[in-house]
Chains A and B, each alone.
Chain A
Amino acid sequence: MKKGRRFFKNMLGRRVPEKANLFGEIEPYKKADKRHIKYITEDQEFSGKVVNNIREALEKAGIKDGMTISFHHHLRAGDYVLEMVMKEIAEMGIKNLTLCVSSLTAAHECLIDHIKNGVVTGIETSGIRGKLAEAISKDCILENAVIFRTHGGRARAIEQGDVVIDIAFVAASCCDNMGNMNGQTGKSAFGSMGYPMVDARYARRTIAITDNLAPYPVYPISIPQTLVDYVVVVDQIGDPEKIGTGSTRKSKDPVELAIAKYASQVIFASGLVKDGFSYQAGSGGISLSVAGYLVDYMKEHNVVGGFASGGVTSAMTEMLEKGYFRTLLDVQTFDAGAISSLRNNPNHLEMDASMYADPFAKDCVINNLDIMILSATEIDVNFNINVLTASNGVIMGALGGHPDTAAGAKLAIAVVPLTRKRIPIVVDEVINISTPGESVDVVVTEYGVAVNPRNPVLKEKLIEMGMPVFDITELRDKAYRLTGIPNKPKFGDTIVGIVEYRDGTVIDTIMNVL
Chain B
Amino acid sequence: MAGKTLYDKIWDAHRVRQDPDGTTLLYIDRHLVHEVTSPQAFEGLRVAGRAPWRIDANLAVPDHNVPTQDRAQGIADPISRLQVETLDGNCVDFGITEFAMNDVRQGIVHVIGPEQGATLPGMTVVCGDSHTSTHGALGALAFGIGTSEVEHVLATQCLIQKKAKNMRVRVDGTLPPRVSGKDVILAVIGEIGTAGGTGHTIEFAGSVIRDLSLEARMTVCNMTIEAGARAGLVAVDDKTIDYVRGRPYAPQGDLWEQAVTAWRKLRSDPDAIFDREIVLDAATIRPQVSWGTSPEMVAAVDGVVPDPAQEADPVKRSGIEQALAYMDLRPHTAITDIRPNKIFIGSCTNSRIEDLRAAADVVRGQRIAESIDLAMVVPGSGLVKQQAEHEGLDRVFTDAGFEWREPGCSMCLAMNADRLEPGERCASTSNRNFEGRQGQGGRTHLVSPAMAAAAAVAGHFVDITAL
State whether these chains interact: no
